Amino acid sequence: MNKPSVEKDFAGRRVLITGGMGFIGSNLARRLANLGAEVTLLDSLPAGIGGNPYNISGYEQRLRVRAGDLRDADATADAVRGQELIFNLAGQVGHVQSMEDPLADLDINVRGQLSFLEICRRESPDAKILYGGTRQVYGPPRYLPVDEDHPVNPVDVNAVHKLAAERYHILYHRVYGLRSVVLRMTNVYGPRMRVKDGQNNFLGLWIRQLLHGEEITVYGDGSQARDLLYVEDVVDALLLAALTPGIEGRTFNLGGADSVALLELAKRMIEIHGAGTYRLITFPAGRKKIDIGSFVSDISKIRMDLGWEPITPLGEGLRQTIAYFRQHGEHYW
Interface residues with ligand NAD (CB under 6 A) are 19, 21-25, 42-46, 49-51, 69-71, 89-93, 108, 112, 132, 134, 162, 185, 187-188, 194, 200-201
In the complex, minimum distance from the CB of residue 100 to ligand NAD, in angstroms, rounded to a whole number? 16
C-alpha count within 13 angstroms, C-beta hemisphere, residue 322: 22
In the complex, minimum distance from the CB of residue 213 to ligand NAD, in angstroms, rounded to a whole number? 25
In the complex, minimum distance from the CB of residue 200 to ligand NAD, in angstroms, rounded to a whole number? 6
Rounded CA-CA distance 105/162 in Å is 10
C-alpha count within 13 angstroms, C-beta hemisphere, residue 50: 32
Contacts of 170 (CB under 8 A, 6+ apart): 180, 182, 249, 251
Q: Which is nearer to ligand NAD, 36 or 328 (CB)?
A: 328
In the complex, minimum distance from the CB of residue 25 to ligand NAD, in angstroms, rounded to a whole number? 5
Q: Which is nearer to ligand NAD, 19 or 198 (CB)?
A: 19
In the complex, minimum distance from the CB of residue 316 to ligand NAD, in angstroms, rounded to a whole number? 18
CA distances from 42 to 24, 26, 78, 164 (A): 13, 11, 10, 22
In the complex, minimum distance from the CB of residue 8 to ligand NAD, in angstroms, rounded to a whole number? 26
Q: Which is nearer to ligand NAD, 49 or 262 (CB)?
A: 49
In the complex, minimum distance from the CB of residue 34 to ligand NAD, in angstroms, rounded to a whole number? 19
Q: Which is nearer to ligand NAD, 200 or 259 (CB)?
A: 200
Give the residue closest to ligand NAD by C-beta. Answer: 22
Backbone CA torsion sign across 27, 116, 40, 91: negative
In the complex, minimum distance from the CB of residue 233 to ligand NAD, in angstroms, rounded to a whole number? 12
Rg, the chain, Cα only: 19
Q: Which is nearer to ligand NAD, 92 or 224 (CB)?
A: 92
Q: Which is nearer to ligand NAD, 112 or 177 (CB)?
A: 112
Q: Which is nearer to ligand NAD, 134 or 224 (CB)?
A: 134
Q: Which is nearer to ligand NAD, 22 or 276 (CB)?
A: 22
Rounded CA-CA distance 143/329 in Å is 38
Contacts of 62 (CB under 8 A, 6+ apart): 33, 39
